[in-house]
Structure 1
Amino acid sequence: MKHFYTLIFLFATYFTFGQTSPDKYDYFVQFNGNQLSKKVSINEVLNHPILTKYISKKPDFDLRQYTSIIQLDQKITIHGNFLDSVPFYQVTIPIKNKEAVRQYLIEKQGANGKNSTIEEFGKYAVFTPSGVKRSFVWNDNYLVIFELTKRLPTKFYDSPGGPPILNDSIVATETYEETAVEAPQVYDVPQAPNPPKIAEPSVMRDEPMVADVPAGSAETAEQDYLYDGNPYEEYTAEQTEFDKKLAEQQREIIKGLFENGFTTPSFSKINASADISSWVNYGGFMSSFYSLYNYPLALFGGYDKYLPMQKNFGNFIKGINLDFYFDNDNARIEEVVEYAAEIASVVSKISDRKINKNIFNYFPSEKPLGYVSYHANTKAALENFPSLMTELFQNPKFAKEDITLITDLISTIVDEEATAKLFDGDLSAFLYDTKEVEVMTKKYDYDENYEEKITEEKVKKDIPLFSVIFTSTHPTFGDKLLQLGVRKKVLVPNGNSYTVVGTQEYGDIFIMKEKDVVVVANTKDYFGSGKGSFAKEAKKDLSKNYISGKLDIAQTVKTFGKKAKDSELDRMTKISSQFSDVSIESPKKLIDNKLKFVFKLNSFKSDKNIILQTLDLAEEMTSK
């Protein structure tokens, strides 16, 4: 009967795995070799001098040995599940020759030798190395590396209450009795008319003490902890049986994949136009991460029950795409976050902010070394915060009414409109240049008597010139806060600004507030009154993006490398002559509930693919 149920289980696994929806993967990565091979020759990359130089020292890392097996100009995929009842991973590789795979496994993996044998099944062949669970499966066109990743559950998780705990307290089995004992007679001392009685507790000498444990617990404890044999042997037997069933299950799944012809995996979330495209189920990812903070709290009092449920994270974000592009003049990463419909409507309100134009009066006229500008609707974020928290903290331990009571209380106490005026949502930061300043520093030393002595001396150092600008439309809070700083002697009035005490080493940082704009900086030399080429360009970018930033690599290296060592300056100069800048931007508008972030590295050159440019640079920097 046991074998009958095992067969039923394997059949169910075979059927359900074969019928798995292609949109149920928890992660999917696709190397679009057909796309990238149009931009750069794979052989040119693998035979680059810096790689061949490295391979000459470590031949095991020679990727060229796989070019005779793998079709690198085709799609290679990695996908799997870590939440499903059948967790697995699968790597699918297009191959040139079935026999080439066989020879590789025989020569490099020890197949048909001491490390297990290759099994032939007509349409496909399977090799599972000894001591591992992954299987190599291939037919005329594809090599698949497959493994079920399910693990044997520990006893901690098998028993909801954990291992039984024995109490050390002792209980009496009978009521307390007093036994009268006559006082011993003492000679030469007259006895009292009524000698006193001395009370003693009765002691059960013939009955053993009994531990205070619930009925049946002692037997359970004995089964769990008082093994007749070696407990490790029991675990090993259990693990062996588990591995055996898992191997049978894996064989059935492989049979289902190849018996009627192998179908290459595909996924609707993958971007075929990217050079490398990937997708991860955010809810599934957070479920894996959930155990990191869930387990410790489960040990100490079971407080994990009051944490946000892992599935709630998936109700916020459906998934995240990471797409990589390698062109001649740039390399970029596009991160696309797909929100649930309700959350997307909230995010779109937060990201679509109308910028306070007064902030542009403090933008520099000319392009700075670097900047980042962020603009979000703080009021919309505060207004939607209670509903987001209600969704996040939905938990069997909390009734929905309990959560709404708390969020309503927060909404009552916090005036969203007034609070939003403290920081409206406009924030910009700029890095302009460096400046040499003379500052007093303390030196600690010891005299001839080994007593500490402190001396002060003036030294010259380069400090970065910067500014941080944000808007606050609250009518009184900002001014009152500045006056508080003056009264507490943290700020010193200086014309239309306030100098922060003790910041001479950083170039005398000051705070300036004009109308609804607050500036924290250490220079006033770069404010451009909203005019100039950079201010116009920034306005244009920020009309479409709620985040925009850029770092000029060449100018930054030139500015901060003035006092660098020759060797360091040489490396920095080579980088700055190759790459012009790195930028980040994120559009205001969501498309199909998706918010995009773009990270881009731009190159001065465009005569060859940026991958080859990077390898050329690495070779140049490592050559002597």
Structure 2
Amino acid sequence: MEEIDTAVVNASNRVKKIKNKAVVSWTKKMLSGYFTTNNRSSILDNKDFVKSVDEKAEITAWIPSTEQSLIDFMPASVLKGINVFRGYGSANVKLYLEKDAIRIGSSLTLSDEMASAFTKINKRKVNRKFLNYVNEDKLIGYMAYAMDSKAYLEEYPKLMNKMYGSVYKDEVGMATDLFALLLDEEAVSKVIKGDGLFIFNGLTQKEVTYKSYEYNEDNFEKDTVTKTKKETIPDFLLMVSTEDTRLLSKLIAYGVKKKVVTAMQNYYELSIPKSPMAVYFAIHNGIIFFGSDAKEIEQIVSNKYQAKVSSKHKNELLKNNFAAYFSARKLAGKIPSEEIGSPEKIEKTNKVLNSLGDIYIKSGPVKGNVFSGEMSMDIPAKEQNALKYLFSIIEDVEKK
């Protein structure tokens, strides 16, 4: 019969009681701080909460203080005085189920200092020239961003000091001084201006060779054998604005000298060790291009690229500091079967992709002290109810 040490059991029970009591106390304190003030007034007296409520939204979630939430939820032993959300105030998220889209909107209130930094960083817009190299019939998705790199480099040390300065004051101070000393913000901002556009055109397969070893039973030695296999690689195009190409030209010349870069006709190929993917790049029309398709890069540098952009995508790209788009239906049937697995999994994956509408994500400049963003998904015309459509997607995903 197994002996039980009652002293150990009793000690364990006492520890559990202490832990449970601490958890209850912590939970009460957290909830009290969230939903009531010191005088136990109603949440409806909070102007920020009342302002955040939208009757058109199906669901509204509100946090009175993002900064305080981190302090409440994360143990002090983990944070150790570090506060990455310092200067972040109230936040809210809203779900809208509309006739033609499912939309999630969010906003975050910033302190005056943080709002000023965000305003400076986000004052740039996406380069309009990017649109000359976008073909929406070909692309499956894109992601664009626009920030002022000079402002970012100037504000970055200040932001780091706010986050870590209370704990690592001396270290952060020296690091920010060194950062400012080594970097010429004006010069860097001319080389990389701060806006870019990444276009995803799909997935392709490429046959690559590799070395394998086989055991020779005759002489008990390993023989080196060259084999081939198919690798799935992304088809993409990346554009980044530039103004001063002198440093870039020096880097290219150095890459050619070291045989990492190969000069082609008006563009270059970048060798990536142990990678099946070839990357091509060029500098043209004030833009640095990186891509996986040599023909596309060649068309760009020879001014033969055929662009096609609708007004909707133009607005998404040019009016926002961040914009992303993804068409799941365009990807359906284009993922190599080897990457998915069995025929059943392939069928399920393509069914889910075909059922999804186009997805958009965007965020604009700070307005007042509020930073906002939005994500939406179009609803197919045949669907009459957004909620039923949402549940049908979840059901398709969960099916085995």
Task: Report the TM-score range of the alignment, normalised by the length of the smaller protein.
Answer: 0.7 to 0.9
Contact kept, 8 Å, 1:359 with 1:469, in 2: the verdict is: yes
In structure 1, runs of 5+ residues without a counterpart are 1-229, 295-303
Whole-Å separation in 2 of the counterparts to 1:477 and 1:531: 30
* 1:291–1:492 distance in 2 versus 1, CA, 3 Å: same
1:421 equivalent to 2:190? Answer yes
Question: What is the deviation of 1:615?
Answer: 3.2
The residue number in structure 2 matching 1:552 is 327
Whole-Å separation in 2 of the counterparts to 1:234 and 1:509: 62
The residue number in structure 1 matching 2:359 is 582
**Residue of 57, 60, 68 corresponding to 1:277:** 60
Whole-Å separation in 2 of the counterparts to 1:507 and 1:409: 37
Whole-Å separation in 1 of the counterparts to 2:337 and 2:11: 65
Q: Which amino acid aligns with 2:118?
A: V
The residue number in structure 2 matching 1:591 is 367
Whole-Å separation in 1 of the counterparts to 2:220 and 2:12: 65
Contact kept, 8 Å, 2:92 with 2:108, in 1: the verdict is: yes
The residue number in structure 1 matching 2:6 is none
TM-score normalised by the chain length of structure 1: 0.51
Whole-Å separation in 2 of the counterparts to 1:512 and 1:419: 19
Whole-Å separation in 2 of the counterparts to 1:435 and 1:237: 56
Question: What is the deviation of 1:562?
Answer: 5.9
**Residue of 146, 166, 169 corresponding to 1:395:** 166
* 1:500–1:365 distance in 2 versus 1, CA, 3 Å: same
Q: CA RMSD in A?
A: 3.9
Whole-Å separation in 2 of the counterparts to 1:235 and 1:329: 57
Matched residue pairs, number? Answer: 365
Question: What is the deviation of 1:581?
Answer: 1.9
Contact kept, 8 Å, 2:132 with 2:307, in 1: the verdict is: no
* 1:429–1:235 distance in 2 versus 1, CA, 3 Å: same
Contact kept, 8 Å, 2:122 with 2:148, in 1: the verdict is: yes
Whole-Å separation in 2 of the counterparts to 1:511 and 1:235: 66
Whole-Å separation in 1 of the counterparts to 2:174 and 2:200: 46
The residue number in structure 2 matching 1:441 is 210
**Residue of 88, 94, 97 corresponding to 1:323:** 94
Whole-Å separation in 2 of the counterparts to 1:364 and 1:598: 24
Whole-Å separation in 2 of the counterparts to 1:504 and 1:421: 33
Whole-Å separation in 1 of the counterparts to 2:215 and 2:77: 49
Contact kept, 8 Å, 2:241 with 2:286, in 1: the verdict is: yes
Question: What is the deviation of 1:386?
Answer: 3.4
1:513 equivalent to 2:305? Answer no
Q: Which amino acid aligns with 1:279?
A: W
Q: For 1:427-469, what per-residue CA distance to the aligned partner results, in whole angstroms no more than 9, with x for missing partners?
A: 2111213444332233333222553333113345553321222
Whole-Å separation in 2 of the counterparts to 1:289 and 1:404: 26
Whole-Å separation in 2 of the counterparts to 1:522 and 1:560: 17
Contact kept, 8 Å, 1:365 with 1:531, in 2: the verdict is: no
The residue number in structure 2 matching 1:157 is none
Whole-Å separation in 2 of the counterparts to 1:547 and 1:556: 22
Instruction: Indicate the percent of aligned positions where both proteins have the same amino acid.
Output: 20
Question: What is the deviation of 1:417?
Answer: 0.6
1:569 equivalent to 2:353? Answer no
TM-score normalised by the chain length of structure 2: 0.76
1:289 equivalent to 2:74? Answer yes
* 1:458–1:403 distance in 2 versus 1, CA, 3 Å: closer
The residue number in structure 1 matching 2:314 is 539
Q: Which amino acid aligns with 2:318?
A: S
1:610 equivalent to 2:386? Answer yes
Question: What is the deviation of 1:504?
Answer: 9.2
Question: What is the deviation of 1:475?
Answer: 3.5
SS of corresponding position for 2:378: strand
Contact kept, 8 Å, 2:124 with 2:147, in 1: the verdict is: yes
The residue number in structure 1 matching 2:124 is 353
Contact kept, 8 Å, 1:439 with 1:505, in 2: the verdict is: no
**Residue of 140, 157, 176 corresponding to 1:369:** 140
Please say which structure displays the higher CA radius of gyration: 1
1:496 equivalent to 2:266? Answer yes
Greater CA drift, 331-340 or 534-543: 534-543
* 1:236–1:412 distance in 2 versus 1, CA, 3 Å: closer
SS of corresponding position for 2:314: helix
* 1:518–1:445 distance in 2 versus 1, CA, 3 Å: same
Whole-Å separation in 2 of the counterparts to 1:236 and 1:396: 32
Q: Greater relative contact order: 1 or 2 (C-alpha under 8 angstroms, separation 6 or more)? A: 2
Contact kept, 8 Å, 1:329 with 1:609, in 2: the verdict is: no
The residue number in structure 2 matching 1:335 is 106
SS of corresponding position for 1:395: coil
SS of corresponding position for 2:74: helix
Question: What is the deviation of 1:318?
Answer: 0.8
* 1:574–1:416 distance in 2 versus 1, CA, 3 Å: same
SS of corresponding position for 1:418: helix
* 1:552–1:418 distance in 2 versus 1, CA, 3 Å: same
Question: What is the deviation of 1:407?
Answer: 4.2
* 1:619–1:341 distance in 2 versus 1, CA, 3 Å: closer
The residue number in structure 2 matching 1:451 is 221
Whole-Å separation in 1 of the counterparts to 2:127 and 2:360: 23
Whole-Å separation in 2 of the counterparts to 1:615 and 1:393: 43
Contact kept, 8 Å, 1:466 with 1:521, in 2: the verdict is: yes
Question: What is the deviation of 1:482?
Answer: 1.0
Q: Which amino acid aligns with 1:422?
A: V
SS of corresponding position for 1:360: helix
Whole-Å separation in 2 of the counterparts to 1:372 and 1:502: 24
Contact kept, 8 Å, 1:328 with 1:606, in 2: the verdict is: no
Contact kept, 8 Å, 1:473 with 1:516, in 2: the verdict is: yes
SS of corresponding position for 1:597: strand
* 1:358–1:613 distance in 2 versus 1, CA, 3 Å: closer
Question: What is the deviation of 1:621?
Answer: 7.1
Greater CA drift, 511-520 or 606-615: 606-615
Whole-Å separation in 1 of the counterparts to 2:275 and 2:160: 43
SS of corresponding position for 2:186: helix
Contact kept, 8 Å, 1:326 with 1:611, in 2: the verdict is: yes
Question: What is the deviation of 1:537?
Answer: 4.6
SS of corresponding position for 1:549: strand
* 1:319–1:422 distance in 2 versus 1, CA, 3 Å: farther
* 1:451–1:608 distance in 2 versus 1, CA, 3 Å: farther
Whole-Å separation in 1 of the counterparts to 2:181 and 2:273: 40
* 1:342–1:569 distance in 2 versus 1, CA, 3 Å: same
* 1:410–1:554 distance in 2 versus 1, CA, 3 Å: closer
* 1:503–1:605 distance in 2 versus 1, CA, 3 Å: farther
* 1:290–1:535 distance in 2 versus 1, CA, 3 Å: farther
